[in-house]
Copies of this chain bind each other. A is one copy, B any other.
């Protein structure tokens, strides 16, 4: 099957696997939350940090830089005093956010079933 072959070729070419990296960038804890936040509106750095919560300045800056380099986030530094930097999604970033949100929503919807499965699994292990 073409699709699966293509995904599996990534593995064969592990060290040169750019798809893998993109998948990782958009599915990190902060990558997911930043993409979903920016899907609603653009944010200034400090606003975004408050909105996402619990993320260090350094980690948020790194997440934004990675997403900017991948072409998902647009960084708009306004030449004003005090300096003002707005972050928003590019068209490609809107797509990425849509994909990731679909996955996050699915995770939310199915969480109860997963918790149930884990409980059953752990009980089997304990009783055997």
**Distance in Å: Cβ of A10 to nearest Cβ of chain B:** 8
- Which chain B positions have C-beta within 8 A of A122? 69
Determine the interface band of chain A, counting residues with CB < 8 A from chain B.
Answer: 35 or more
Smallest CB-CB A-B distances: 10 pairs: A71-B117, A27-B27, A69-B121, A19-B107, A99-B106, A22-B107, A70-B114, A11-B53, A7-B104, A99-B103
Q: A1-35, CB under 8 A of B: which get 1 and which 0?
A: 10110111001101000111011101101001100
A37 and B113 alpha carbons, distance in the complex (Å): 22
**CB closest chain-B residue, reference A104:** B7
- Which chain B positions have C-beta within 8 A of A52? 8, 11
A71 and B100 alpha carbons, distance in the complex (Å): 21
Interface residues of A in 90-128 (CB under 8 A from B): 92, 95-96, 99-108, 110-111, 113-118, 120-122
Are B103 and A18 in touch, CB under 8 angstroms? no
Number of chain copies forming the complex: 2
**Distance in Å: Cβ of A99 to nearest Cβ of chain B:** 5
Are A71 and B114 in touch, CB under 8 angstroms? yes
- Which chain B positions have C-beta within 8 A of A24? 27
